[in-house]
Amino acid sequence: MLDGSSLTMGVAGFAAAVAALALIERLAKVGFSRIPKLDCDPAPLRTAAEVAYDYARERHLPLASVAERRGASGGAVDWFENHMLHAVPVSATVLKTGSVKVLGARTRARMCAVPSGIANSVDGDPVYGDPMVTAKDFRTYLRWMRTVW
């Protein structure tokens, strides 16, 4: 038979378990959930920016609202694309030779938007095309995004 004290302990234990599950679900929604993956590795910078923006918006991260405010003319995805261009290593195709090169910080800083994507412009002609981000660098960027308040 159950006495009053064991019944109380059972109810208290159940309540504690429910509270613990609620806390775990809440933490999962805040940002401890799985980080999204890119479809390919390396992925186009634009695709990575779109996924990063969606991730920030779904998790209600502050960078989503920053991107929406500061990316007024080009949009929030353009802001993320530009920010990732400066924050993570980016490789691009050298248009003259077709080889792929990891771009240095100076080159990334000089990049500008052209209709064919992100390219370093010399005399109006693009030098680099098809900017790409590796999955590892993308995951690092998303983890960093969760720390920005």
Percent of the chain past pLDDT 70, that is, above it, reads 66
Is pTM beyond 0.75? Reply is no
Q: Is the dihedral of CA 104, 78, 48, 144 positive or negative?
A: positive
Flag the least confident range among 39-48, 60-69, 112-121, 138-147. Answer: 112-121
Express each pLDDT in 69-100 by its tens digit: 887 666 888 889 888 888 888 888 888 888 88
Give the count of alpha carbons within 13 A of 32, CB side only: 6
Q: With bands split at pLDDT 50, 70 and 90, how would you rate the model's confidence at 54?
A: very high
pLDDT at 19 over 60: yes
Contacts of 12 (CB under 8 A, 6+ apart): none
- Give the mean model confidence (pLDDT) for residues 105-117: 65
Express each pLDDT in 38-53 by its tens digit: 777 888 988 999 999 9
pLDDT, residue 86, reads 83
